[in-house]
Structure 1
Amino acid sequence: MAPSMTAPVRPVPGRVKLAQLLALAVPALLLGGAYISEYVFGMHPCEMCWWQRWPHFAAIALALLSFAVPLRKLLTGLAALAILVSGLIGLFHAGVEYKWWEGITGCATIAASEGTSALDAIMNAPMIRCDEAPWDLFGISLAGWNFLISTASALAILVLLVRSARNVAR
């Protein structure tokens, strides 16, 4: 028999490493974009926008931890699930913006005003509503883009991890 037929297939560390890098880079870039849109372009987040950010923070922490401890596949998979959760919240938020369904009735945030009294800040700050998209690209809101990017990247990470596990089993 040829050596290639009897030699066991070794795991492909490149797939796991790529999954780890995606699990770290995607939420970091999406959060970076969110903060740039907030602090550079003045698009303050509504409450549902914040809901989408929290799973990305968790994904970054899990992805960073995956580089430091031996449970890298598990932690990377959990990071992918956190990214997926953010994407699904983005789908819900986009549906509210597009009026596909009704959102949380009291969903609004008041943008902070600095340098004034608390009462003046509340009275003069603009109301940020969850059912109005402040910006879109090709008709897709920021929440819609979060859904598309987060869901696709989470699935890609999970596929990389599954393919890595299949190579180990062979």
Structure 2
Amino acid sequence: MITQLDRKTLISLATAGSCALLGGAFLFQFFGFAPCELCLWQRWPHGAAIVIGAVALSLGYGGLAWFGALAATITGGLGIYHTGVERQWWQGPSSCTGSGGLDVNSLLSTDGTNVVLCDQVSWEMLGLSMASWNALASFGLAVVWLLTALRRD
């Protein structure tokens, strides 16, 4: 069914998907789920995909779909990396994990900033964390972008 959609519709769908994922991240933040450093990294490619989609739609240039696919794949990869850090499959950045890089003074700081650890799952559904859901959805969007790039219409 998705293969029967025209290029403009596919670009709109992929762009709306990144808008929804980025909006969802901000909604979770609004409701008290502060993002960690890796969560923030995952937001940037969605922002890039939104810009790419807007430019592609306004200029009618479907060739930008390759860049949309790249942005979605990058954020999906970051989601997989973040999931691995959360599950302790591999080491994460020392700046946001319990493995080091945090000094006692920053943890005891009273300046209103809280350190959000990347290796802690703050929310999950059906056994998958936000990072895992972002990865799955982002790889799905990458497929939509790739279908768009490969269209001949």
**TM-score bucket of the superposed structures, by smaller chain:** 0.7 to 0.9
The alignment status of 1:47 with 2:37, answered yes or no, reads yes
The alignment status of 1:36 with 2:33, answered yes or no, reads no
Runs of 5+ consecutive residues of structure 1 not aligned to the other structure: 1-11, 109-118
- Looking at structure 1, the residues matched to 9 and 62 of structure 2 have their Cα atoms a distance apart, in angstroms, of 11
- Structure 1 segments (4+ residues) deviating >4 Å: none
- The residue aligned with 1:21 is 12
- The residue aligned with 1:121 is 111
Q: Is the 8 A contact 2:68 2:145 kept in 1?
A: no
The alignment status of 1:141 with 2:129, answered yes or no, reads yes
Residue 22 of structure 1 deviates from its aligned partner by 2.0
SS of equivalent residue, structure 2 residue 41: helix
Residue 131 of structure 1 deviates from its aligned partner by 0.4
- The residue aligned with 2:56 is 66
Taking a change above 3 Å as real, the CA distance of residues 13 and 138 of structure 1, as seen in their structure-2 partners, is closer
- Looking at structure 1, the residues matched to 10 and 84 of structure 2 have their Cα atoms a distance apart, in angstroms, of 29
Q: Is the 8 A contact 1:23 1:80 kept in 2?
A: no
Q: Is the 8 A contact 1:107 1:129 kept in 2?
A: yes
TM-score by length of 2: 0.83
Residue 159 of structure 1 deviates from its aligned partner by 2.2
Length, aligned pairs only: 140
Q: Is the 8 A contact 1:45 1:128 kept in 2?
A: yes
Structure showing greater radius of gyration is: 1
Work out the percentage of aligned pairs sharing the same amino acid: 36
Q: Is the 8 A contact 1:19 1:161 kept in 2?
A: no
Q: Is the 8 A contact 1:19 1:76 kept in 2?
A: no
Which structure 2 residues correspond to residues 88-99 of structure 1 after superposition, within 5 A?
88-99=77-88
SS of equivalent residue, structure 2 residue 116: strand
The alignment status of 1:130 with 2:118, answered yes or no, reads yes
Worse-superposed segment, 131-140 or 73-82: 73-82
- The residue aligned with 2:104 is none
CA RMSD of aligned residues (A): 1.9
